[in-house]
Structure 1
């Protein structure tokens, strides 16, 4: 067993434990400060963007020149001007995550506003029709149903992202890049698990066994993704591995921007400048590591 394989096993265990711990924390912690949560997410977003651009894409994009030249020649281009296939695949990976986000209806960045609108609608319904009681009537049943549906949607969306970023982890070509990706993912995985578990609290009230089953299933997405990435990397060599890395870099770029950085910066509350500074610091620090790795 080589060193990288041992690191993959350790990372798989760490992903599972951190995800499970973040979810279980919901059972014991009433709430977590949104300011600190968003500050960590902004930092993690900057880190993932730096990993995608300055490590994964920088290492792999140049290794696809042969395939790029073949594509350029096949399309009637000049042989000495290869098609930028690595950058193209990174773009494909980026839009893959964006598309999944919209199709699956993953993270709702405006949940707070929607929640206020729902409460306002509930009050208006009660005023218009006194027979509808928000405490135990139709409105309450509808809200419970919407909460469970939102919880399942969040679970699916975050699980897809977890698998994809774990595949990116498992497909890392070097121990240095692997370690950087693991640290970046672990930096926000606990908070992501906390968000998933919180969204499933409506299920926990009625079926604790189902809640635990869903949480364990989510925690397993990390190890499963690392396994898939390792298998894919082992089954392809050279340019195939570089293509996988470029595709994975695009997915991490999308997760870092769309799921971590932008939601944190869109918040109109306090610490907005601190969150921006934290994101820039995370990006700069992880990018400069490319000098020594």
Structure 2
């Protein structure tokens, strides 16, 4: 148990410092400033992102979901119903509900801002109306991948409010990701999930920090967002550790239920956020798929010792 606790605490510290380093890196490296971004930078980010998607897919299918279903079926074996899948679905729909609420608030605030802007009327000729109707809309001609709504990367035209709700949504994800680590009964499995979360969080916080810098977000607000986001996974790990310290029948049942809910968030993040962002892209699709397979293969090999 001591070795397991040491590993979880190590994962907590690693998650905290890696997120802080990746989040603050664009502030101190000139190569990542707006006027210095090149095609090489974008290419590297594509490959790292695809590799992380494969890591998350492997951790989700080969460990998180499998262990959660096994533990729940053991604790609730007296119920003749697939309770594991039901609890997993509750975690899935919980995160889905939170993100839909975030998007709804964002859309309403955008409409309120647009309605509050005074509009000036200018004389227009009939030919102007005809020309405007015949002119194609820029929204229609956007590439399909630009129309994809993705909470992790929806950072275009960021206002302070949209930045806040974006980081709140990401923080909720991070708590459950940390919870999945803190609830693990074996140190190898905790390390396996920690690797996936480390890579994923590093890429996400780095990309968002870069976008915030390009959107002229002040360093003070950027620092606040990154620090809050960095604390969420460690908080989740601490909650998981506290739950597993007192092994009673009730605590074991609660642990299995929480593990099922957190596995549902993993399913959501993997299949509705990470993978669609990679597979829907038209830039080097085969190369992206190759790196997804590499990431999945690595997690499959690690699962041999789990």
Q: TM-score, normalised by structure 1?
A: 0.74
Measure how far apart 1:67 and its partner are. 5.3
Counterpart position of 1:101 = 99
2:159 partner SS:
helix
Measure how far apart 1:185 and its partner are. 0.8
Paired with 2:43 and 2:279, the residues of 1 have a C-alpha distance of 11
Q: State the aligned residue count.
A: 247
CA RMSD of aligned residues (A): 2.9
Counterpart position of 1:169 = 181
Measure how far apart 1:256 and its partner are. 1.8
Per-residue CA distance 1:209-229 (angstroms, 9 max, x = gap): 333222212211121121122
Paired with 1:58 and 1:224, the residues of 2 have a C-alpha distance of 24
Question: Which deviates the most, 245-254 or 144-153?
Answer: 144-153
Residues 270-289 of structure 1 mapped to structure 2, 5 A cutoff = 270-289=283-302
Residues 168 and 62 (structure 1 numbering): CA distance in 2 closer, same or farther, change over 3 Å? closer
Paired with 2:271 and 2:49, the residues of 1 have a C-alpha distance of 10
Note if 1:84 corresponds to 2:98: no
Per-residue CA distance 1:9-33 (angstroms, 9 max, x = gap): 2111111111111111121222473
Paired with 2:14 and 2:3, the residues of 1 have a C-alpha distance of 16
Residues 180-219 of structure 1 mapped to structure 2, 5 A cutoff = 180-201=192-213, 202=215, 204-205=217-218, 208-219=219-230
1:105 partner SS:
helix
Paired with 1:3 and 1:20, the residues of 2 have a C-alpha distance of 26
Contact residue 54 and residue 294 of structure 2 kept, 8 A: yes
Q: TM-score, normalised by structure 2?
A: 0.71
Per-residue CA distance 1:6-65 (angstroms, 9 max, x = gap): 112211111111111111112122247333323322222222222222212323323333
Any stretches of 5+ residues in structure 2 without a counterpart? 107-123, 125-155
Per-residue CA distance 1:172-201 (angstroms, 9 max, x = gap): 121011000111111121111113323433
Residues 228 and 53 (structure 1 numbering): CA distance in 2 closer, same or farther, change over 3 Å? same
Residues 34 and 88 (structure 1 numbering): CA distance in 2 closer, same or farther, change over 3 Å? farther
Any stretches of 5+ residues in structure 1 without a counterpart? 72-81, 109-127, 129-143
Counterpart position of 2:152 = none
Contact residue 72 and residue 260 of structure 2 kept, 8 A: no
